[in-house]
Protein backbone atom coordinates (compact mmCIF):
# COMPACT_ATOMS: atom_id res chain seq x y z
CA UNK A 1 0.00 0.00 0.00
CA UNK A 2 1.49 3.38 -0.97
CA UNK A 3 2.49 5.82 1.76
CA UNK A 4 0.02 8.59 2.52
CA UNK A 5 1.08 11.99 1.15
CA UNK A 6 2.95 14.22 3.57
CA UNK A 7 0.91 16.92 5.27
CA UNK A 8 2.20 20.34 6.17
CA UNK A 9 2.25 21.45 9.79
CA UNK A 10 -0.24 24.05 8.52
CA UNK A 11 -2.61 21.48 7.00
CA UNK A 12 -5.15 21.42 9.83
CA UNK A 13 -5.41 25.18 10.28
CA UNK A 14 -6.13 25.55 6.56
CA UNK A 15 -8.53 22.61 6.46
CA UNK A 16 -10.53 24.30 9.22
CA UNK A 17 -11.07 27.21 6.82
CA UNK A 18 -12.26 24.93 4.02
CA UNK A 19 -9.05 24.49 2.06
CA UNK A 20 -8.74 21.66 -0.45
CA UNK A 21 -5.43 20.00 -1.22
CA UNK A 22 -3.71 18.18 -4.08
CA UNK A 23 -1.00 15.54 -4.02
CA UNK A 24 2.12 16.44 -5.97
CA UNK A 25 5.05 14.03 -5.73
CA UNK A 26 3.89 12.73 -2.36
CA UNK A 27 3.31 16.12 -0.71
CA UNK A 28 -0.04 17.76 -0.11
CA UNK A 29 -0.14 21.30 -1.44
CA UNK A 30 -2.98 23.74 -0.72
CA UNK A 31 -5.05 23.96 -3.90
CA UNK A 32 -7.58 26.64 -2.98
CA UNK A 33 -9.79 27.96 -0.21
CA UNK A 34 -12.68 27.91 -2.66
CA UNK A 35 -12.28 30.95 -4.90
CA UNK A 36 -9.08 30.77 -7.02
CA UNK A 37 -10.02 33.91 -8.97
CA UNK A 38 -10.25 35.97 -5.79
CA UNK A 39 -7.02 34.43 -4.48
CA UNK A 40 -5.23 35.34 -7.71
CA UNK A 41 -6.55 38.91 -7.50
CA UNK A 42 -5.37 39.21 -3.89
CA UNK A 43 -1.84 38.32 -5.00
CA UNK A 44 -1.94 40.81 -7.88
CA UNK A 45 -3.58 43.76 -6.09
CA UNK A 46 -3.51 43.12 -2.34
CA UNK A 47 -1.75 40.61 -0.10
CA UNK A 48 -2.14 36.89 0.47
CA UNK A 49 -0.02 34.01 1.73
CA UNK A 50 0.82 30.51 0.58
CA UNK A 51 2.00 27.46 2.50
CA UNK A 52 5.23 26.32 0.81
CA UNK A 53 6.09 23.60 3.34
CA UNK A 54 7.05 21.04 0.62
CA UNK A 55 9.83 23.22 -0.82
CA UNK A 56 12.99 21.18 -0.20
CA UNK A 57 15.41 23.03 2.06
CA UNK A 58 19.00 21.84 2.39
CA UNK A 59 21.44 23.20 4.96
CA UNK A 60 25.12 23.15 4.03
CA UNK A 61 27.71 23.73 6.76
CA UNK A 62 31.51 23.49 6.98
CA UNK A 63 34.40 25.53 5.65
CA UNK A 64 33.58 24.39 2.08
CA UNK A 65 29.83 24.98 2.23
CA UNK A 66 29.61 27.89 -0.19
CA UNK A 67 32.14 26.36 -2.57
CA UNK A 68 30.07 23.16 -2.56
CA UNK A 69 26.89 25.03 -3.46
CA UNK A 70 28.74 26.82 -6.26
CA UNK A 71 29.88 23.53 -7.79
CA UNK A 72 26.29 22.66 -8.72
CA UNK A 73 24.76 26.14 -9.13
CA UNK A 74 24.90 28.28 -12.28
CA UNK A 75 24.58 31.75 -10.77
CA UNK A 76 27.59 33.42 -9.18
CA UNK A 77 27.66 33.09 -5.40
CA UNK A 78 31.06 34.76 -5.01
CA UNK A 79 29.56 38.25 -5.05
CA UNK A 80 26.63 37.31 -2.81
CA UNK A 81 27.59 38.43 0.67
CA UNK A 82 26.02 37.40 3.94
CA UNK A 83 22.28 37.89 3.88
CA UNK A 84 21.92 37.73 0.11
CA UNK A 85 20.29 35.10 -2.10
CA UNK A 86 20.66 34.05 -5.74
CA UNK A 87 18.28 32.24 -8.08
CA UNK A 88 19.57 29.87 -10.74
CA UNK A 89 19.77 26.35 -12.11
CA UNK A 90 21.32 23.27 -10.54
CA UNK A 91 23.29 21.28 -13.09
CA UNK A 92 25.39 18.13 -13.20
CA UNK A 93 28.95 17.87 -14.47
CA UNK A 94 27.63 17.56 -18.05
CA UNK A 95 25.68 20.82 -17.81
CA UNK A 96 22.33 19.05 -17.71
CA UNK A 97 19.70 20.91 -15.69
CA UNK A 98 18.44 18.87 -12.76
CA UNK A 99 16.52 21.50 -10.81
CA UNK A 100 16.07 25.22 -10.22
CA UNK A 101 15.99 27.16 -7.00
CA UNK A 102 17.59 29.63 -4.63
CA UNK A 103 20.79 29.64 -2.57
CA UNK A 104 20.77 31.77 0.60
CA UNK A 105 24.24 32.76 1.80
CA UNK A 106 24.86 32.93 5.54
CA UNK A 107 28.62 32.95 4.96
CA UNK A 108 31.38 30.87 3.36
CA UNK A 109 30.72 28.11 5.89
CA UNK A 110 26.90 28.10 5.89
CA UNK A 111 24.17 28.37 3.29
CA UNK A 112 20.69 27.11 2.48
CA UNK A 113 20.05 25.45 -0.86
CA UNK A 114 16.36 25.27 -1.80
CA UNK A 115 15.31 22.85 -4.53
CA UNK A 116 12.09 21.37 -5.87
CA UNK A 117 13.04 17.74 -5.39
CA UNK A 118 14.46 15.73 -2.47
CA UNK A 119 16.77 12.74 -2.74
CA UNK A 120 19.92 14.52 -3.90
CA UNK A 121 22.19 13.03 -1.24
CA UNK A 122 24.08 10.82 -3.70
CA UNK A 123 24.58 13.62 -6.22
CA UNK A 124 25.73 16.02 -3.51
CA UNK A 125 28.21 13.51 -2.11
CA UNK A 126 29.76 13.04 -5.55
CA UNK A 127 29.79 16.73 -6.49
CA UNK A 128 31.13 17.89 -3.12
CA UNK A 129 33.90 15.31 -2.96
CA UNK A 130 37.03 16.62 -1.24
CA UNK A 131 35.34 19.58 0.44
CA UNK A 132 34.70 20.14 4.13
CA UNK A 133 30.90 20.25 3.95
CA UNK A 134 27.96 18.54 5.59
CA UNK A 135 24.51 18.67 4.02
CA UNK A 136 21.16 17.96 5.67
CA UNK A 137 17.57 18.02 4.40
CA UNK A 138 15.80 20.43 6.76
CA UNK A 139 12.48 20.56 4.91
CA UNK A 140 10.26 19.42 7.77
CA UNK A 141 12.11 21.61 10.26
CA UNK A 142 11.64 24.76 8.16
CA UNK A 143 7.98 25.44 7.33
CA UNK A 144 7.77 28.36 4.91
CA UNK A 145 4.94 30.89 4.71
CA UNK A 146 5.13 33.02 1.54
CA UNK A 147 3.41 36.42 1.91
CA UNK A 148 2.97 37.93 -1.55
CA UNK A 149 1.35 40.95 -3.16
CA UNK A 150 1.85 44.71 -3.58
CA UNK A 151 0.52 45.33 -0.05
CA UNK A 152 2.75 42.71 1.59
CA UNK A 153 5.23 45.20 3.10
CA UNK A 154 2.43 47.51 4.26
CA UNK A 155 0.51 44.76 6.07
CA UNK A 156 3.40 42.63 7.28
CA UNK A 157 5.65 45.51 8.36
CA UNK A 158 3.86 46.42 11.63
CA UNK A 159 4.13 42.79 12.79
CA UNK A 160 7.92 42.61 12.39
CA UNK A 161 10.40 43.94 14.96
CA UNK A 162 12.73 45.15 12.19
CA UNK A 163 12.22 47.56 9.32
CA UNK A 164 11.16 45.60 6.23
CA UNK A 165 12.14 48.51 3.99
CA UNK A 166 15.79 47.76 4.85
CA UNK A 167 15.58 44.28 3.33
CA UNK A 168 16.74 44.35 -0.31
CA UNK A 169 15.27 42.27 -3.12
CA UNK A 170 16.68 38.74 -2.83
CA UNK A 171 17.97 39.56 0.63
CA UNK A 172 17.24 37.93 3.97
CA UNK A 173 18.10 38.39 7.63
CA UNK A 174 20.49 35.63 8.76
CA UNK A 175 19.25 36.05 12.32
CA UNK A 176 15.63 35.42 13.16
CA UNK A 177 13.40 38.44 13.56
CA UNK A 178 10.21 38.43 15.62
CA UNK A 179 7.04 38.36 13.54
CA UNK A 180 3.76 38.73 15.45
CA UNK A 181 5.58 37.50 18.55
CA UNK A 182 7.04 34.45 16.78
CA UNK A 183 10.77 34.07 15.99
CA UNK A 184 11.18 33.57 12.24
CA UNK A 185 13.66 34.07 9.45
CA UNK A 186 12.46 36.73 7.00
CA UNK A 187 13.38 36.41 3.31
CA UNK A 188 12.56 38.88 0.53
CA UNK A 189 11.82 36.26 -2.09
CA UNK A 190 8.75 34.57 -3.56
CA UNK A 191 7.05 32.97 -6.53
CA UNK A 192 4.39 35.40 -7.72
CA UNK A 193 5.93 38.19 -9.77
CA UNK A 194 4.98 40.63 -7.00
CA UNK A 195 6.59 42.22 -3.98
CA UNK A 196 6.79 39.52 -1.33
CA UNK A 197 8.37 38.11 1.80
CA UNK A 198 8.83 34.57 3.06
CA UNK A 199 8.80 33.55 6.71
CA UNK A 200 10.38 30.47 8.28
CA UNK A 201 9.30 29.83 11.89
CA UNK A 202 9.93 26.75 14.00
CA UNK A 203 7.37 24.01 13.24
CA UNK A 204 5.87 24.23 16.74
CA UNK A 205 5.07 27.93 16.27
CA UNK A 206 4.03 27.87 12.61
CA UNK A 207 0.29 27.69 13.35
CA UNK A 208 0.52 30.61 15.81
CA UNK A 209 2.24 32.70 13.14
CA UNK A 210 -0.29 31.67 10.48
CA UNK A 211 -3.21 32.68 12.69
CA UNK A 212 -1.60 36.00 13.54
CA UNK A 213 -1.10 36.75 9.86
CA UNK A 214 -4.73 35.87 9.15
CA UNK A 215 -5.83 38.17 11.97
CA UNK A 216 -3.82 40.96 10.34
CA UNK A 217 -5.98 40.61 7.22
CA UNK A 218 -3.70 38.53 5.03
CA UNK A 219 -5.61 36.20 2.71
CA UNK A 220 -4.66 32.70 1.61
CA UNK A 221 -3.97 31.39 -1.88
CA UNK A 222 -3.13 27.99 -3.29
CA UNK A 223 -1.75 26.28 -6.36
CA UNK A 224 -4.74 27.10 -8.57
CA UNK A 225 -4.18 30.84 -8.16
CA UNK A 226 -0.40 30.79 -8.26
CA UNK A 227 -0.41 28.71 -11.44
CA UNK A 228 -1.96 31.59 -13.36
CA UNK A 229 0.24 34.22 -11.73
CA UNK A 230 3.48 32.34 -12.32
CA UNK A 231 2.66 31.62 -16.00
CA UNK A 232 1.95 35.32 -16.55
CA UNK A 233 5.33 36.09 -14.97
CA UNK A 234 7.21 33.44 -16.95
CA UNK A 235 8.16 31.42 -13.87
CA UNK A 236 8.93 27.78 -14.48
CA UNK A 237 7.88 24.62 -12.64
CA UNK A 238 9.87 21.42 -12.40
CA UNK A 239 8.20 18.51 -14.17
CA UNK A 240 6.14 20.74 -16.47
CA UNK A 241 8.38 23.33 -18.11
CA UNK A 242 11.44 21.10 -17.96
CA UNK A 243 12.37 17.56 -16.97
CA UNK A 244 15.40 16.75 -14.86
CA UNK A 245 18.45 15.89 -16.93
CA UNK A 246 16.75 16.33 -20.31
CA UNK A 247 18.11 19.74 -21.27
CA UNK A 248 20.23 22.69 -20.23
CA UNK A 249 19.48 26.02 -18.53
CA UNK A 250 19.55 27.67 -21.94
CA UNK A 251 16.50 25.66 -23.01
CA UNK A 252 14.48 27.45 -20.33
CA UNK A 253 16.00 30.86 -21.23
CA UNK A 254 18.08 31.06 -18.05
CA UNK A 255 20.88 32.99 -19.78
CA UNK A 256 20.88 35.77 -17.15
CA UNK A 257 21.47 33.31 -14.28
CA UNK A 258 24.17 31.23 -15.97
CA UNK A 259 27.57 32.68 -15.12
CA UNK A 260 30.04 30.47 -16.94
CA UNK A 261 33.02 31.76 -14.96
CA UNK A 262 31.40 31.20 -11.55
CA UNK A 263 33.07 27.82 -11.04
CA UNK A 264 30.27 25.27 -11.38
CA UNK A 265 31.15 21.82 -12.66
CA UNK A 266 29.08 21.84 -15.85
CA UNK A 267 30.32 25.18 -17.18
CA UNK A 268 32.67 23.79 -19.84
CA UNK A 269 29.92 21.59 -21.25
CA UNK A 270 27.64 24.62 -21.56
CA UNK A 271 30.08 27.03 -23.23
CA UNK A 272 29.48 25.85 -26.82
CA UNK A 273 25.71 25.84 -26.25
CA UNK A 274 25.57 29.34 -24.80
CA UNK A 275 26.09 31.10 -28.13
CA UNK A 276 23.50 29.05 -30.03
CA UNK A 277 20.93 27.30 -27.80
CA UNK A 278 18.74 24.83 -29.72
CA UNK A 279 15.57 25.61 -27.77
CA UNK A 280 14.08 28.58 -25.95
CA UNK A 281 11.26 29.06 -23.47
CA UNK A 282 8.70 31.68 -24.51
CA UNK A 283 5.10 32.66 -23.82
CA UNK A 284 2.40 32.18 -26.45
CA UNK A 285 -0.71 34.35 -26.74
CA UNK A 286 -3.34 31.90 -27.90
CA UNK A 287 -6.49 32.82 -29.84
CA UNK A 288 -9.91 32.06 -28.40
CA UNK A 289 -11.19 31.26 -24.93
CA UNK A 290 -10.42 27.54 -24.75
CA UNK A 291 -7.24 26.48 -22.97
CA UNK A 292 -5.12 23.81 -24.69
CA UNK A 293 -3.78 20.89 -22.70
CA UNK A 294 -0.44 20.74 -20.96
CA UNK A 295 1.99 19.20 -23.44
CA UNK A 296 0.02 20.29 -26.52
CA UNK A 297 2.08 20.25 -29.72
CA UNK A 298 3.18 23.56 -31.24
CA UNK A 299 3.56 23.69 -35.03
CA UNK A 300 4.52 26.20 -37.70
CA UNK A 301 3.30 25.71 -41.25
CA UNK A 302 2.30 22.21 -40.21
CA UNK A 303 5.77 21.25 -38.93
CA UNK A 304 6.48 20.57 -35.24
CA UNK A 305 8.45 23.36 -33.55
CA UNK A 306 7.80 22.84 -29.85
CA UNK A 307 5.47 21.96 -27.01
CA UNK A 308 3.14 23.96 -24.77
CA UNK A 309 4.42 23.24 -21.27
CA UNK A 310 2.13 25.39 -19.08
CA UNK A 311 -1.16 26.89 -20.35
CA UNK A 312 -3.55 29.17 -18.45
CA UNK A 313 -6.58 31.39 -18.82
CA UNK A 314 -5.31 34.73 -17.54
CA UNK A 315 -7.75 37.42 -16.35
CA UNK A 316 -5.31 40.02 -17.69
CA UNK A 317 -3.99 38.46 -20.90
CA UNK A 318 -6.53 35.90 -22.06
CA UNK A 319 -5.34 32.41 -22.96
CA UNK A 320 -1.57 32.17 -22.70
CA UNK A 321 0.99 29.46 -22.19
CA UNK A 322 4.68 28.89 -21.61
CA UNK A 323 6.15 26.89 -24.49
CA UNK A 324 9.46 25.22 -25.29
CA UNK A 325 10.25 26.17 -28.89
CA UNK A 326 12.96 25.41 -31.40
CA UNK A 327 15.13 28.53 -31.52
CA UNK A 328 14.33 29.47 -35.17
CA UNK A 329 10.64 29.71 -34.19
CA UNK A 330 11.16 31.51 -30.89
CA UNK A 331 11.41 35.12 -32.10
CA UNK A 332 8.78 37.45 -30.69
CA UNK A 333 5.96 38.00 -33.17
CA UNK A 334 6.32 34.58 -34.81
CA UNK A 335 2.98 32.98 -35.71
CA UNK A 336 2.50 29.36 -34.68
CA UNK A 337 -0.35 26.94 -34.06
CA UNK A 338 -1.19 24.99 -30.91
CA UNK A 339 -2.99 21.65 -30.86
CA UNK A 340 -6.50 21.92 -29.45
CA UNK A 341 -9.01 19.09 -29.63
CA UNK A 342 -8.97 17.60 -33.11
CA UNK A 343 -7.41 20.69 -34.67
CA UNK A 344 -5.21 23.67 -33.88
CA UNK A 345 -5.59 27.27 -32.76
CA UNK A 346 -3.38 30.22 -33.82
CA UNK A 347 -0.90 31.74 -31.38
CA UNK A 348 1.81 34.41 -31.36
CA UNK A 349 5.20 34.15 -29.68
CA UNK A 350 5.89 36.74 -26.98
CA UNK A 351 8.56 37.32 -24.33
CA UNK A 352 8.69 34.74 -21.57
CA UNK A 353 7.21 37.13 -19.02
CA UNK A 354 4.16 38.97 -20.32
CA UNK A 355 3.46 40.45 -16.88
CA UNK A 356 6.00 43.04 -15.74
CA UNK A 357 8.87 41.69 -17.87
CA UNK A 358 11.41 44.03 -16.22
CA UNK A 359 10.46 42.69 -12.73
CA UNK A 360 9.90 46.14 -11.31
CA UNK A 361 7.06 45.01 -9.06
CA UNK A 362 8.97 42.47 -6.93
CA UNK A 363 11.87 44.96 -6.73
CA UNK A 364 9.64 47.81 -5.51
CATH of the domain at 78: 3.30.70.1400
Q: Which domain, by its residues, includes 355?
A: 279-364
User: Phi then psi for 290, rounded to 5 degrees?
Assistant: -90, 135
User: Are residues 225 and 352 located together in one domain of the fold?
Assistant: no
- The percent of residues above 70 in pLDDT, for the chain, comes to 99
Whether the Cβ atoms of residue 58 and residue 135 lie closer than 8 Å to each other = yes
Does residue 199 lie in a domain region?
yes
Does residue 239 lie in a domain region?
no
- Give the residue-averaged pLDDT of 88-97: 98
> Is residue 1's pLDDT more than 60?
no
- Domain boundary, last residue among 111, 140, 169: 140
> Is residue 2's pLDDT more than 80?
no
pLDDT in tens, 308-327: 999 999 999 999 999 999 99
> Is residue 253's pLDDT more than 80?
yes
Does residue 3 lie in a domain region?
no
Does residue 269 lie in a domain region?
no
User: Are residues 34 and 78 located together in one domain of the fold?
Assistant: no
- Domain boundary, last residue among 105, 140, 175: 140
User: Are residues 22 and 170 located together in one domain of the fold?
Assistant: yes
pLDDT in tens, 152-183: 999 999 999 999 999 999 999 999 999 999 99
User: Are residues 147 and 227 located together in one domain of the fold?
Assistant: yes
User: In the chain, how many domains are there?
Assistant: 3
Does residue 341 lie in a domain region?
yes
User: Are residues 151 and 38 located together in one domain of the fold?
Assistant: yes
Domain CATH number, residue 23: 3.30.1360.120
- Domain boundary, last residue among 86, 118, 140: 140
Amino acid sequence: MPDDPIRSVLYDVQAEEGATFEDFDGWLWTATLGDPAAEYEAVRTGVAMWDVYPLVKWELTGSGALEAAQRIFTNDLRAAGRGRARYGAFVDAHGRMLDDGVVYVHGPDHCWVMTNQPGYEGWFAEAFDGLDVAFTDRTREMPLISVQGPRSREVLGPLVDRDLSELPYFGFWPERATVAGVPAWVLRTGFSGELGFELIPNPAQAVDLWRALRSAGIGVFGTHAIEVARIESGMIVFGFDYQAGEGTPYDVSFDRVVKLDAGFLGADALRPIATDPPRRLRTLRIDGAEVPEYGAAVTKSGEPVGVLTSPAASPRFGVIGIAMLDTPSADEGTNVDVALGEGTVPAVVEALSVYDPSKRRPRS
